[in-house]
Amino acid sequence: MDRRKFLAGGAVGAAATTLAAPAIAQDVRQWKLVTAWPKNLPGPGVAAQMLADRITTLSGGRINVKLYAAGELVPGRGVFDAVSEGTAELYHAVPAYWGSKSKGILLFGSQPFGLRADEQFGWLHHGGGQALYDEMYGRFGIKPFLCGNSGPQWGGWFRDEINSAQDLKGLKFRTTGLASEMASKLGMAAEAMSGPAMFQALQTGALDAGEFIGPWTDSALGYYQVAKNYYWPGVGEPSSAEECGVNQDKFNELPDDLKQVVQLACESLYNPVWTEYTTKHALALKALVEEHGVQVKMFPEDVITAMGKAAAEVIDDLRQDDDELVRRITESFVAYRDSVGGYMSFADNGQMNARAGVLGY
């Protein structure tokens, strides 16, 4: 480090170096980043390492972040509590895992028939969502930031074909967040478990079906080996935001420039993470079909209709929640979805439909 060589040589230089070293050491913060993912899992595991590296680099080493994968320091589903309690300084996970804390948290990650990745970021930054996000997580001593998104998730891997909404009743189905609430209203037995555990459960028959993320990540976990029916659209999670939660006290202690570093490290990853998912999902889906014999199928219309009715009930429940903050978050989400969604029907949806129908080159 150049500062260690300041005034090198001579008694004055030696004294300066001797005095500077402890000051530099005190200025370096050693932070632990705990994640909900196996190390380097394609998609979220890769993104978590990118976050650790970016904070370290942008801070010039003043915040040195070391990543701990799920189970190395705390269990994957224990990262929220670890940061809340100060065991670690920050975590990388998804809001969909924290419904036991408050149902309102779930809206910041994904919503059935809800926001796309760009809309989710727009809600937080231009529709008042970040203030509500801060207020909710502040109850637990955490400062939250979005730092990525998987884009549209898939409907799931099914051991047997689905021909009607009736076929969903009684199925043991792995999902998370508000999608699990929707699944329960459809008569499914929603199960929350890690991605690797989902593979084992499908293999043994403990699960009939399940969804995790999308083709890129799902391929790495090998679901195609134990279930060949891969359904779309994933209306339960039209996008799934990834988040960084920072211990509030540790964040407040940072000087203003390092607060900006943490915020910008998170926000600057949102688009690269999302677009990497999109690019690699497309390549992985092609390989799943051509190399592994996966059957890509669309849910029947009556299934999508039934899911839509169940999703409406989920949102109605949130609108009537006993917690007024949950009600405010819900109304903010619905207002933003309806406003931007109305525009998107002319803009993005219209353009995509036109491109799919008449490709000019």
Q: What pLDDT digit, counting tens, does each position of 15-69 carry?
A: 333 333 333 456 899 999 999 999 999 999 999 999 999 999 999 999 999 999 9
Tokens of 244: 């960084």
Q: Return the amino acid letter for 59.
A: S
Rounded CA separation 121/226 (Å): 35
Model pLDDT, residue 234: 97
Do the Cβ atoms of 213 and 43 come closer than 8 Å?
yes
Share of the chain above pLDDT 70, in %: 92
pLDDT of 356: 87
Give me the mean pLDDT over the 248-263 stretch. Answer: 98
230 burial level (CB within 10 Å; 0-12, 13-18, 19+)? buried
Calculate mean pLDDT across residues 354-359: 82
**How much is the average pLDDT of 196-216?**
97
User: Listing from the earlier edge strand, what are the strands of the sheet with 295-298?
Assistant: 189-191, 172-174, 209-210, 156-158, 229-232, 295-298
pLDDT mean across residues, the chain: 92
Q: What is the pLDDT of residue 26?
A: 61
Tell me which of 15 and 225 has the higher pLDDT.
225
Confidence class of residue 126 from pLDDT cuts 50, 70 and 90?
Answer: very high
pLDDT digits (tens, 9 = 90+) for 131-175: 999 999 999 999 999 999 999 999 999 999 999 999 999 999 999
pLDDT band at 360 (very low <50, low <70, confident <90, very high): low
Query: Is the distance from CB of 174 to CB of 192 less than 8 angstroms?
Result: yes
| Percent of the chain scoring above 90 in pLDDT | 88
Q: Transcribe 208-238 into DSSP letters.
A: SEE--S-HHHHHHHTGGGT--EEEE--TT-S
* Segment 235-254, tens digit of pLDDT: 999 999 999 999 999 999 99
For helices 177-185 and 301-319, what crossing angle results, to 10°? 110
Strand partners, 92: 35, 244
CA–CA separation, 70 vs 77, rounded Å?
Answer: 8
Torsion over CA: 57, 58, 62, 67 (sign):
negative
Q: What is the pLDDT of residue 94?
A: 98
